[in-house]
Amino acid sequence: MQTMPSNNHNPNETRSLFAPARLGPITLRNRIVKCGTNEGMSRRGLVTDQLIAWHREFAAGGVGMTTLAYCAVSPEGRTFADQMWMREEALPGLRRFTDAMHAEGARASIQIGHAGWFADPAATGTAPLGPSRTFSPHAQAFSRAMTREDFERLTSAFGESARLAVAADFDAIEVHAGHGYLLNQFLSPYNNRRGDEWGGSIENRARFPRQVFNTVRQAAGAAVAVYAKLNMDDGFSGGLQIEESLQVAKWIEADGSLDALQLTGGHTTRTPFYLMRGEVPLQGMIENQHHWARRIILKLFGRQIIRAYPFEEGFFLPQARRFRAAVSLPLMLLGGVTKLDTMEQALAEGFEFIAMGRGLIRDPDLVRRMESGELRASRCVPCNRCIIEMERGGTRCIYR
């Protein structure tokens, strides 16, 4: 077992949004985190000047920490060909990234994970792997059920990726266990249909993610914060439900492997807009779809298979409150947080950090403008066209 994090939730603590705050062994200048949002700006799996400049805006705009997303721990864990993946060749660019964020006074986090079942065979050159052999609509292929050798190899890959992140001077490491990525696939009975020690009960389904969290913690050492993006629920019947996720959070806390949890929800291949809310930009999704079969499916059945969810300010807050009541582990609130009032309310209710995506993409300098009193809310409208832009040269707000 690991040593329990020292910054456990204190219900009597008064938190200021713009004051320095501890995240495990590091201190952030404030409690606002730019969460991981796929940028679409890496090339050949490496950092680019465009990627650094994009994140530099958030750092210069005042966030406490910005998150480089999504970095696969191995080449077969990618969802598109140019996606970042962790290896020695990537180190120079990663160091340039952290240097740039630190120069602006922000901490730098890196999101590591594996796409598993929905990795793109056209990008990886191999069939996707996952907990079980099931057909992946996204990959348009059957996944290969992981073997004992795969468990050992991928656990080591997560550890090696953490080592590389430390070598690149990242302050924090986020392990992706949400949104239908591999670790979430193990937690979800929709993907995990195994009958061995890695499947069945929630204790067995949580075994691999917990093993990975412990491995990353050990590889990261004592000077770097480690946290996970964890699904509270998958957003559909047959997926991971909140009661099971609450139990997983309790086990993680007991393990002492993580310094915080960033709470999220939704499954990329089943409920992609559960984690976004707002408009579904279907026409742009069709135009950007390079796989002929997926393009036809979207044209014919897109409105039926992609469910829209109405946007509400702080839409994950009701579920997240159950986690706040169940564990003392520091929590990052994510999901439609755009207003200063919502942030202050969340801190008053015991959440330690606020994680933002689209609100900052619309207003990269939002934190400084809020602190100065110029703005009390992001000007983001949940049109979700920013995600369409990812495949048109890089994620951006069309209203900027």
Active-site residues, by number, are 181
Q: Which residues contact 61 (CB under 8 A, 6 or more apart)?
A: 360, 363, 364, 365, 366, 367, 368
Question: Nearest-CA neighbor of 109 among 69, 73, 77?
Answer: 69
Q: What is the dihedral of CA 110, 126, 294, 269, to 10 degrees?
A: -50
End-to-end CA distance of the chain: 48
Rounded distance, CA 245 to CA 248, Å?
Answer: 5
Backbone angles phi, psi at 229, to 5 degrees: -85, 110
**Would you give the DSSP letter of residue 348?**
H
Beta-bridged to residue 228, according to DSSP, are 175, 261
Q: Answer for the pair 305, 267: CB distance below 8 angstroms, yes or no.
A: no
DSSP string, 15-59: --TTS-EEETTEEESSSEEE--------BTTB--HHHHHHHHHHH
Taking Cα atoms as reference points, which of 75, 128, 73 lies closest to residue 269? Answer: 128
